[in-house]
Amino acid sequence: MIPDDETLAQRLGHLLDILPYALLLVLPVVALGALVLRLLRDRSLGASMAVLVLVPVAAMVTGVLGISGFMFNTSLTTMLLVCLLVTLVTVPVALYLGRRIARRTVWEREARERERAAEASRRELVAWISHDLRTPLAGIRAMAEAVADGVVSDPDEVRTYAERVGGEALRLSGMVDDLFELSRITAGALRLTLSAVALQDVVSDALAAQTPVAHRKRVTLRAAADTWPVVLGSDPELARVVRNLVSNAIRHTPPDGTVAIQVRTDGPDAVLAVDDACGGIPEPDLPRVFDVAFRGTPARTPSADTDPAGGGLGLAIAKGLVEAHHGRIAARNHGPGCRFEIRLPWRRARSPRGA
């Protein structure tokens, strides 16, 4: 049956009559929902999504109940059941979608922060390496030009210049090796061949390699262990970690100081600690000592009687290699200097040689 024009007009007039009352009933619910959303702005996104779903449903139910005067009939009861069903379906979906969106938002924010940090680290690394590469290259060029132009002709002086050129070339080679190793770590291209590695052998090799440097600086090297554990790892990479830590300790220990290596076991961990006599690291700098190209204020202007500072990559490489072994590395002030401590899972105890 099609209603005539008079009936449509009457219904439209009735709707216009009840519209202000409906708005008066609905607006407080919407305002309350907006207040709840404001209070939840720092809370979970899932809760906000649930409120966004509930507010329209609650506003509609409130308006219908108010206009009907709570006169429950079949139509009103059916509509309320439908609203309840919609609520039961949409609220869980809203919570699920809210959590998914929140996780994705957090992941994207963290990814952007990691990308910005990586870009800043790359720029800082390029700046440091560019500076450190120019210094030995300038020295090599100046000495080569002096020999080529005949400014230096005495055989002893030529030999001295040649030795200096060789030393600077060796320094450049070490920096290139560090860059290559760091690129493997940061790119996730590091592949370790794991086997049983005796920490006694690793420490002995590191001390043998660093003893000439320590003698030139009049620094005493000392190693001690309660027991020599065997760890599951890659011998070349672990040797590099210990060499980097010992070299760093020697560089920052004043003449007549001592660098001590201590090895022990602590529950499931094999612990290797390297103590120096650097005078300590400022507390704000401790969390940054393993950052790429971070060397701290004193190391940026090394004195003339010390070895040239490295490229600031040794500790960053050590951290990456230790973590590749599922271990941990940390730095803290200890005694007259600071302690760098490595923790690695160990397999079994090994008696010292000759014991």
Pairing mode of beta strands 337-350, 269-275: antiparallel
pLDDT at residue 259, rounded to an integer: 94
Q: Tell me the pLDDT of the chain (355 aa) as tens digits.
A: 455 555 766 666 656 666 676 677 777 777 877 787 777 776 666 677 777 777 777 777 777 776 666 666 677 677 777 777 777 777 777 777 767 777 777 777 887 887 887 777 677 667 767 766 777 788 888 888 888 888 877 888 888 888 888 888 887 887 778 777 777 777 677 778 888 989 999 999 889 888 988 998 999 999 998 888 999 888 888 998 999 899 989 999 999 999 999 999 988 889 999 999 988 888 888 888 887 766 665 443 344 344 544 556 788 888 988 988 889 999 999 888 999 999 998 865 444 443 3
pLDDT at residue 69, rounded to an integer: 66
CATH 3.30.565.10 for the 192-355 domain, yes or no: yes
Q: How far apart are CA 310 and CA 344, in angstroms?
A: 26
Q: Among all chains, which residue has been given the structure tokens 């190793």?
A: 181
CATH 3.30.565.10 in the chain is located at 192-355
Q: How far apart are CA 328 and CA 315, in angstroms?
A: 13
Residue 223 CB partners (closer than 8 Å, separation 6+): 203, 204, 207, 260, 261, 262, 263
Write out the DSSP string of 129-174.
Answer: HHHHHHHHHHHHHHHHHHHHTTS--SHHHHHHHHHHHHHHHHHHHH
Regarding pTM above 0.85, the answer is: no
Joined tokens for residue 286: 């401790």
Cβ–Cβ < 8 Å for 234, 194: yes
Q: How far apart are CA 59 and CA 326, in angstroms?
A: 56
Measured torsion, CA atoms of residues 246, 248, 249, 252, in degrees rounded to the nearest 10: 160
Q: Among all chains, which residue has been given the structure tokens 């600077």?
A: 168
Residue 159 CB partners (closer than 8 Å, separation 6+): none
Residue-wise pLDDT for 141-193, tens only, equals 888 888 888 887 788 888 888 888 888 888 788 777 877 777 777 767 777 88
pLDDT at residue 301, rounded to an integer: 37
